Chains A and B, each alone.
Chain A
Amino acid sequence: MSTPASQVEAWREARPHARAARATARVSALRMQKLLAMTSRVAARAIWRNRLRSGLTMLGVIIGVAAVIAMVSVGQGADRFVQEQIASLGTNLVMVIPGAVTSGGARSGWGGASTLSVADVEAIRRTAPAVAAVTPTRRQVQQVIYGNLNWSSVVQGVSPDFVRVRDWPVESGSFFNERHEKSAAKVAVLGATVVGNLFAPGQDPVGSTIRIKNVPFRVIGVLAAKGQSSWGQDQDDVVIIPFSTAERRVLGTQILGTADLIYASARRAEDVSAAAEEITAALRQQHRIGRGEDDDFTVRTLEDMMGASAAASRVMGNLLFAIASISLLVGGIGIMNILLVSVTERTREIGLRMAVGAKARHILMQFLAEAAVLSMTGGIIGIALGLLVTYLIGTIAEWPTERSPASIAAAFLFSGAVGVFFGYYPARKASRMDPIEALRWE
Chain B
Amino acid sequence: MTVPLIDAVDLTRRYAVGPATVEALRGATLAVAPGEFVAITGPSGSGKSTLMNILGCLDRPTSGSYRLAGVEVGELDGDARAELRNARIGFVFQSFNLLPRTTALENVELPLFYGPTPLEAQRARARAALARVGLEHRAGHVPAQLSGGEQQRVAIARALVNDPDLLLADEPTGNLDSRTSTEILATLGELNRGQSLTVVIVTHDPEVAAAAGRVVSCRDGRIVGDTAAGYGSREGA
Q: Which residues of A contact B (CB under 8 A)?
A: 1, 4-5, 7-8, 10-12, 15, 17-18, 20-21, 27, 30-31, 34-35, 37-38, 49, 348-349, 351-362, 435-436, 439
Contacts and interface: CB of A to CB of B under 8 A. Distances in A.
B114 A356 contact: yes
Contacts, number: 95
Name, among B85, B97, B113, the residue most crowded by chain A CB atoms within 10 Å (CB to CB). Answer: B113
B111 A357 contact: yes
B124 interface: no
Contacts of B85: 355-357
Nearest to A349: B99
Given A49-B101, A355-B91, A358-B114, A10 B82 contact: no
A313 to B, nearest CB: 50
21 contacts: A7-B71, A8-B76, A11-B88, A12-B87, A15-B87, A17-B163, A27-B116, A30-B118, A35-B114, A38-B119, A353-B114, A354-B82, A355-B85, A356-B85, A356-B111, A357-B83, A359-B82, A360-B79, A362-B113, A436-B59, A439-B97
Contacts of A12: 87
Interface of B: 53, 56, 58-59, 69-72, 75-76, 78-80, 82-88, 91, 93, 97, 99, 101, 110-111, 113-119, 158, 162-163
B87 A357 contact: yes
A34 B83 contact: no
Nearest to B113: A38
Contacts of B114: 35, 353, 356-359, 362
A20 B121 CA distance: 13
A38 B106 CA distance: 11
A12 B69 CA distance: 11
Given A8-B76, A49-B101, A435 B58 contact: yes
Given A7-B71, A8-B71, A357 B59 contact: no
A359 B77 CA distance: 11
Nearest to A31: B116
Contacts of B113: 34-35, 38, 358, 362
Q: Which 3 A-B pairs have the closest CB atoms?
A: A357-B86, A21-B116, A357-B114
